[in-house]
Amino acid sequence: MTLEIKEKILPSYIVLSYDDISDLANENHTEAFLVVSKKFFEEVLTLFNDEIEIHLPNIFYSKYPLGGWIPFKQLLDEAANFLSFIYYNDNYEFLTQLRTKYNLYELSIYTDPVVFTIKRIKK
């Protein structure tokens, strides 16, 4: 009998915080946010074995005007543009969902201080 690991992400609640960006932030807080957020987006891919999708609201991001579920890797390719949009348009917090074949997660991104949270909300 073999054990199939469906996802690497355990436990069901993860907080990845990059709020100590003071060295970068002294220069430019926007740039500091973009740098650590890009690293976070890349790290998210390593937390899961399965493909990840992110949910975007309708008319939220002009690249995807219809919103819906977008492959996370696809959004990663344009992370700088997407993260800039969040930084300038979402009042310090962006809340959405991630999903895999097996689970649904809540993703929150705070821009000041910079804190990322992934929480499993459904199996």
Domain assignment of residue 82, yes or no:
yes
In a domain? residue 48: yes
Does residue 112 sit within a domain?
yes
If one counts the domains in the chain, the total is 1
Q: Is residue 116 part of a domain?
A: yes
DSSP one-letter string for the chain: -------S--SSEEEEE----HHHHHH-HHHHHHHHHHHHHHHHHHH-SS--EEEE-TTSSTTSTT-EEEEHHHHHTTHHHHHHHHHHHSTTEEEEEEE-SS-EEEEEEEETTEEEEEEEEE-
Q: Is pTM beyond 0.85 here?
A: no
Give pLDDT tens digits along the chain (123 positions): 443 444 455 445 555 555 555 555 556 777 777 777 888 888 888 888 788 999 987 766 677 777 789 888 888 877 777 777 777 776 678 888 999 988 899 988 887 777 888 888 876
On whether residue 5 sits in a domain, the answer given is no
Q: Is residue 8 part of a domain?
A: no
| Residue 6, domain member (yes or no) | no
Domain containing 59: what range?
A: 13-122
Total Cβ atoms within 10 A of residue 9: 21
| 94 is a domain residue | yes
